[in-house]
Structure 1
Amino acid sequence: MTKTQTRKAAPRSAMAPKRVKSAHRTATKAVKNAAVDKISSAPARSLDRPVTHRAGSKQARVIEMLMKPEGTTINDIMKATDWQQHSVRGFFAGVIRKKLKLTLISEATEAGRIYKVTGNAASAALTRSKPDKTAA
């Protein structure tokens, strides 16, 4: 063969026969799909149920700090919980505002930004807490 001539490829049907699905393979897929259906058919969490948290937990301590009339700073919360600044801000957005649906107010002062939780929902958030196990 010379360099300018190209080789023709054999037709696909002549190369190898098609693979046939085995009964074992299709049965395994059916079992996997059934397991997925069972997991996904779990009832969704009710949004009407109140959110609970342990008394004395970091979450409860932060909410108490935010409920003070003078409020608190992110640095104070970082010291009390040993969290990093981005974690405190994530807690504000995810737990305080979205999960607990509390109103978070921030005020810029000379000492820095002060954060407070206001309204009746704030006191309701603390009354939802579970009793402390050590007190019993």
Structure 2
Amino acid sequence: MRVTDTVKDEGTGIGKPENLSVQAVATPPKRLRKLLNAEAEIADKPKNPKPVETKTDTVLKKLRLAKGITIEGLIAATGWQPHSVRGFLSGTVKKKLGLPLVSEIGKDGVRRYRLDSKAKAD
């Protein structure tokens, strides 16, 4: 609100506005503003956005490596806790997706997991 030229009231010392002219600003109602903002956001988005790689995609890509990957490698790649990685491997990869997950202990004594294209899923 814009107030111009105040005159002091002698009794209280508080200025009272002499002219209450306010410039009207045309603001659309809240619902209309939300709609306009949503349309503007849609217009700003590219037509074919680049697909975002999910953590599931990351894990499956690592499991498809010929050498495989360790639990520690999956923890580093996803930021998950060890129990979450193991649960994902058994619950999602083996049961839900039905992929042939192979677990092998190498010569270095480290367990590695990989997807075997030759083996059938259990």
Of residues 62, 67, 70, the one that matches 2:64 is 67
Distance 2:52 2:68 in 1: 20
CA offsets 1:13-62 (integer angstroms, 9 cap, x no match): xxxxxxxxxxxxxxxxxxxxxxxxxxxxxxxxxxxxxxxxx751000000
CA offsets 1:66-113 (integer angstroms, 9 cap, x no match): 000010000000001000110000000110001100010011121510
Tell me which residue corresponds to 2:113.
115
The CA RMSD measured in Å over matched residues stands at 1.9
Q: Residues 55 and 68 of structure 1: is their aligned pair in 2 closer, same or farther, counting only changes over 3 Å?
A: farther
Instruction: Structure 2: state its 5+ residue gaps.
Output: 1-50
Is the helix fraction higher in 1 or 2?
A: 1
Of residues 49, 55, 59, the one that matches 1:58 is 55
Q: Residues 120 and 57 of structure 1: is their aligned pair in 2 closer, same or farther, counting only changes over 3 Å?
A: farther
Larger Rg: 2
Distance 1:111 1:62 in 2: 22
Q: Residues 61 and 120 of structure 1: is their aligned pair in 2 closer, same or farther, counting only changes over 3 Å?
A: farther
Is the strand fraction higher in 1 or 2?
A: 2
Cα drift, residue 119 of structure 1 = 1.5
Distance 1:55 1:104 in 2: 25
Equivalent positions of 1:9-48 (< 5 A) are none
Q: Residues 107 and 120 of structure 1: is their aligned pair in 2 closer, same or farther, counting only changes over 3 Å?
A: closer
Tell me which residue corresponds to 1:133.
none
What is the identity percentage for the equivalent residue pairs of Structure 1 and Structure 2? 40
Normalised by the length of structure 1, the TM-score is 0.47
Task: State the structure with bigger RCO (CA 8 A, min sep 6), 1 or 2.
Answer: 1
Q: Which stretches of structure 1, 4 residues or longer, exceed 3 Å deviation after superposition?
A: none
Tell me which residue corresponds to 2:77.
80
